[in-house]
A and B are shown apart, each in its own frame.
Chain A
Amino acid sequence: MMSVQAPATESVSRTQAAVPPMEINRSSCLPVTMLLASSVGWLVVASVLGLVSAIKLHAPGFPGFLSGASWLTYGRVYPAYSFVLIYGFAALAGLGLGLWILARLSRAAVFGPVATTIAGLFWNLGVLVGTLGILAGAGSGYEGLEVPGFASPILLAAYLAIALCATLTFHFRSEREMYVSQWYLLMALFWFPWIFSTAEMLLVYFPSRGVAQAVIAGWFTHNLYWIWLASFGLAAIFYFLPKLAGRPLHSRGLAMFGFWSLACFGGWGGVQGGTPVPSWLASVSGAAGIMMLVPLLAVATNWHLTMKGTDQKLGPNPILPFFKFGAFCFIVASLLQIISLLRAPSSVSAHHQDLSETIQSTFAVVFGLLGQIAEVARFTHYGNGVSSLFLFGFFVMVAVGGIYYVVPRLTQCEWPAPALMKFHFRCGAAGAAFLGASLIIGGIRQGAAMNNPNLAFLDTVRGTVPFLGMGTLGMLLLLVGNCALAINFARLLMNCRCSECCPSPITSPGGRA
């Protein structure tokens, strides 16, 4: 299929009146470089905040004389870290890379580059105001929506402006055939304003009564991760993985199936069993969560068949590992998330004794083991472990790989220290694996202890300390790796003055890797 090969053979000239790559590059240089550069800045800030909060979790006296400062207390540093990582880094990197991919695939110049840049600066302002607000104690009280009410209009307005420019870029495309990445990007661009404005209206400005807030907050956070962030990351993987491997995507039909099943099932989560809300909500979101296996399998199969047998043929490539690792972590994190939704039949046995016995005798081993994870993992570090794996293993890896690929092409400047790329990959992969694994294993141990009432609660907390210490080590590795990127990026921007590089024509867009 020709359309499937579009990203792999981008430099082939077409007969259509396509915008030349030089023109695309000129229009995207300013906004995309600004979005990506600021996202890297926030990534370093997030890593520092994450390291501080990780240390404080097992050493509450950290950092020494400042341990008594209100703005450095765990309950403010942790939400600030989470907010900066998602809204500072992930949003800006997703929008920057998304804009670039949209322009390239659509063969269209970026619509309103100056407007996009200004909107991006406003988004940065919103993140700054929000972070300071959280540290000052104005956090909203909802996990995943920590941003204070006074900063959210800035964020929403900036997002709408960028998304509008990106959509118009897509609308004025000269390449009519759409590629998978464009579907995902449109979903990401479109979905966020709805969930964000809904959550802000019903949680912050005109709060609902009682636990309806908890349902809406859970729905928002679930959509934020599994639709919005996942779409940005999947768009990047679907674009870069075949491109770097030099092969067309295995199946467009399978990709379409994966996309629509994610759209159908991805939005229905967020309420876990045992929450004091009507139990149909937990059932619906649990069922939708398990149905997420469908898009996951479709996407994983497609990647696997695309990459199959490419290992021997490809030479050493410093960027491809980022996407491979990111894709792998997406699959692992999704599976761990799905497992954490399963409940053993024993838990319903009080009401459905007969059914339970039948099921137990049939699937006793499988369901018994998996089902206990849900009961054990709830209220432990397990959940944070899965989201760390999702954020650092999947999203950050993929976005950083994209940044390494895109920035030299935009600015026409090489990375000053290419060796740091490999270093960053090793630090990032080891850090994400360490952080995720220690929190997940520590969380399971914590949950097993917590569900045993003969153990004092304090002992269940003390038992997690070694695992949290290992998590801190992972966070440290992540910080080191991300600093390597920031140093590389800063030196690149200093070396090359935009006036020289941006308007210059691209000589060989597909030639470098």
Chain B
Amino acid sequence: MNQGPIIFLGVYLAMALSWLGMVFVPEMQLGRMQETTVPPAGARYPAPRNGLAQEGRDVYRANGCYYCHTQQVRARGFGADFERGWGARHSVAPDYLYDRPVMLGNLRVGPDLANIGVRQPDAATHLLHLYNPQITAKGSTMPPYKFLFEKRKISGSPSPEALKLSGEFAPEPGFEVVPKPEALALVAYLQSLRADVPLFEAPLPLPGKKPGASSTNQPPAGATNANPAPAGQPQAK
């Protein structure tokens, strides 16, 4: 009995079906997505990231930030993403419309970054954190990204861009640490990570409304720091 052709055809069919279901149909459904307008002003959402932030996305990709950080806030009742204040609403497909590549991430060695631009709008803090995470989050296991910075001798007056380092982190006297263009681009990208616009499929929760009582494995709502309008203060990293 010659089974060769049967194996070939069968395997081809199985492969083609999974391709159809998991590549072609999602491509038809998601690949034609357009930007939407959001009330009340009819603004376009999402707005494309600016040029510097797009360069920063390349820095984020090149250094594999997505191996330790996710960019997706799950719906209420699945994990504690809301309670940790990682987003005002859960993440939905339109949030990623202009991203190439989309780096959702699978592991949270560090916190979710889908809304890091909302939680931490300050560029100087981001730069310090990238230069040495121990400055801003003592005990963090995030590696320092010193190669995004340049230590140079101060000639004339100190550069206004230089990091404000003190104590054990400061360079020797007469030297300063300035961010390279990659660091500035990466920070611009991080600042651009904000999915806080209410959408039809993902409205912002009304102020004062308690999360659904049916999500059973959540701690009591009073014990959370869920906040529909996250304050500008940095969260624990």
User: If A209-B32, A210-B99, A211-B96 touch, does A268 touch B27 (CB 8 Å cutoff)?
Assistant: no
Nearest Cβ on chain B to A285's Cβ, whole angstroms: 7
Query: B176 on the interface (CB 8 Å rule)?
Result: no
B interface, CB within 8 angstroms of A? 1-4, 7-8, 10-12, 14-15, 17-19, 21-23, 26-27, 29-33, 61-68, 70, 72, 74-75, 77-80, 83-84, 90-111, 133, 137, 139-147, 212, 214-217, 219, 223-225, 235-237
On chain B, the residues within 8 Å of A79 by CB distance are 64, 67
User: In the complex where A190-B8, A210-B99 touch, is A75 in contact with B63 (Cβ < 8 A)?
Assistant: yes
Given contacts A141-B103, A211-B93, A347-B78, contact A57 B109 (CB under 8 A): yes
Q: Which of B33, B75, B108 contacts A450 (CB 8 A)?
A: B108
Chain A 352-380: CB-based contact to B (< 8 A → 1; otherwise 0): 01000000000000000000100100111
**B223 & A210 in contact (Cβ 8 Å cutoff):** no
A178: Cβ under 8 A from any B Cβ: yes
CA distance A58 to B140 in the complex (A): 9
Q: Mark A267-307, 1 if CB is under 8 A from B, else 0.
A: 11011011111100100110000000000000000000000
Decide: A210 near B107, CB < 8 A? Known: A60-B141, A275-B72, A375-B78.
no
Is there an interface contact between B4 and A379, defined as CB atoms closer than 8 Å?
Answer: no
B107 in contact with A380 (CB, 8 Å): yes
Tell me whether B79 and A457 are in contact (CB under 8 A).
no
Main secondary structure of the interface of B (DSSP, over half): loop
Determine the chain A residues whose CB is within 8 A of the CB of B7 once the complex forms: 178, 182-183, 186-187
Q: Are A190 and B11 in contact (CB under 8 A)?
A: yes
**Chain A residues with CB under 8 A of B141:** 57-58, 60, 461-462, 465
Residue in contact with A453 in the complex, picked from B32, B90, B133, B223, CB distance below 8 Å: B223
Task: Tell me whether B101 and A207 are in contact (CB under 8 A).
Answer: yes
- Is there contact, CB below 8 Å, between B146 and A68? yes
Most B C-beta atoms less than 10 A away, residue of A210, A372, A458 = A210
Q: How far is the CB of A349 from chain B (nearest CB, A)?
A: 5
Contact call A70/B147, Cβ cutoff below 8 A? yes
| A198 at the B interface (CB under 8 A) | yes
Question: In the complex, A457 Cα to B63 Cα: how many Å?
Answer: 23
Instruction: Please name all residues of chain B whose beta carbon is closer than 8 Å to the beta carbon of A466 when the two chains form the complex.
Output: none
Decide: A380 and B236 in contact? CB cutoff 8 A. Answer: no
Is there contact, CB below 8 Å, between A453 and B102? no
Please determine whether A73 and B145 come into contact, CB atoms closer than 8 angstroms.
yes
List of B residues within 8 angstroms of A452 by Cβ: 80, 219
Q: Are B235 and A186 in contact (CB under 8 A)?
A: no
A145 to chain B, nearest CB (A): 10
**Are A198 and B144 in touch, CB under 8 angstroms?**
no
Chain A interface (Cβ < 8 Å from any Cβ of B)? 56-58, 60-61, 67-70, 73-76, 78-79, 137-143, 170-171, 176-178, 182-183, 186-187, 190-191, 194-195, 198, 202-203, 207-216, 219, 223, 260, 263-264, 266-268, 270-271, 273-278, 281, 284-285, 344, 346-347, 349-350, 353, 372, 375, 378-381, 383-384, 450-454, 456-458, 461-462, 464-465
- Which 6 pairs across A and B sit closest by C-beta, in order of nearness? A75-B64, A267-B18, A453-B83, A137-B62, A141-B101, A60-B143
Nearest CB to that of A138 among chain B residues? B62
Q: A453-B84, A457-B235 are in contact. List 13 more A-B contacts (CB 8 A).
A: A139-B61, A176-B2, A186-B11, A190-B15, A191-B11, A211-B93, A211-B104, A346-B215, A349-B215, A378-B79, A379-B107, A457-B111, A462-B139
A266, A281, A462: residue with the most chain B Cβ atoms closer than 10 Å: A281
CA distance A462 to B119 in the complex (A): 22
- Of A70, A213, A267, A281, the residue contacting B14 (CB under 8 A) is A267
A194 CA to B12 CA, complexed, in Å: 10
| Contact of B26 (CB < 8 Å), options: A142, A212, A451 | A212
Q: When the two chains form their complex, are residues B63 and A137 in contact, meaning their CB atoms are under 8 A apart? A: yes
Knowing A208-B27, A277-B26, A380-B108, the reply to whether A454 touches B219 (Cβ < 8 A) is yes
* Given known A-B contacts A210-B93, A212-B26, A264 and B104 have beta carbons under 8 A apart: no
Q: Which single member of A278, A350, A379 contacts B212 (CB below 8 Å)?
A: A350
Question: Shortest distance in angstroms between B57's beta carbon and chain A's nearest beta carbon?
Answer: 9
Which of A273, A383, A457 gathers most chain B CB within 10 Å? A457
The smallest C-beta distance from B139 to any residue of chain A, in angstroms, reads 6
Q: How far is the CB of A57 from chain B (nearest CB, A)?
A: 7
Per the bound structure, the CA–CA distance linking A56 and B63 in Å amounts to 14
Do B74 and A458 have beta carbons less than 8 Å apart?
Answer: no
Contact A375 B237 (CB under 8 A): no
Which of B11, B102, B212 is A211 in contact with, Cβ under 8 Å? B102
A61 CB contacts on chain B under 8 angstroms = 143-144
Residues of A within 8 A of B235 (CB): 457
Residue of B nearest to A213 (CB): B102
* Contact in complex: A461, B109 (CB < 8 Å): yes
- Within the assembled complex, what's the spacing in Å between the Cα atoms of A346 and B93? 24
CB distance from A424 to the nearest CB of B (A): 29
Cα A451 to Cα B106 in complex, Å, equals 16
A463 CB to nearest B CB, Å: 11
A320 shortest CB reach to chain B, Å: 28
How far, in Å, is B157 (CB) from chain A's closest CB? 27
- Interface hub of A57, A452, A453 (most chain B Cβ within 10 A): A453
How far apart sit A211 and B26, CA to CA, in the bound complex (Å)?
9
Are A379 and B26 interface neighbours, CB within 8 A? no
7 cross-chain CB contacts under 8 A: A60-B143, A67-B144, A79-B67, A202-B27, A210-B30, A379-B107, A458-B137
Whose C-beta in chain A lies nearest to the C-beta of B147? A70
Complex: chain A residue closest to B111, CB-CB: A457
Taking a contact as CB atoms under 8 Å apart, the answer to whether B4 and A178 are in contact is yes
The answer to whether residues A267 and B145 also contact, given A202-B23, A461-B110 and a CB cut-off of 8 A, is no
| Residues of chain A within 8 A of B65, CB atoms compared | 75
Give min CB distance, A387 to chain B, whole Å.
10
Residue of chain B at shortest CB distance from A277: B93
Shortest Cβ gap from A5 to chain B (Å): 16
Q: Which residue of B lies closest to A212 (CB)?
A: B30
- Are B102 and A383 interface neighbours, CB within 8 A? no
Q: Which residues of B contact A190 (CB under 8 A)?
A: 8, 11-12, 15
Residues of B within 8 A of A177 (CB): 1
Q: Which residues of B contact A139 (CB under 8 A)?
A: 61-62, 64
Q: A191 to B219, Cβ gap below 8 A? A: no
Is A215 touching B84 in the complex (CB atoms < 8 A)? Answer: no
Known A276-B91, A452-B219; contact A281-B84, beta-carbon cutoff 8 A: no
Q: Which residues of A contact B214 (CB under 8 A)?
A: 349-350, 353
Asked if A274 contacts B67 (CB within 8 A), the reply is no
State A139–B31 Cα separation when bound (angstroms). Answer: 23
Contact B10 A263 (CB under 8 A): yes
CA–CA, A216 and B23, complex, Å: 6
Determine if A375 and B22 form an interchain contact, defined as CB atoms under 8 angstroms apart.
no
Whether A219 pairs with B22 at a CB distance below 8 angstroms is yes
A278: chain B residues at CB < 8 Å are 26, 29-30, 93
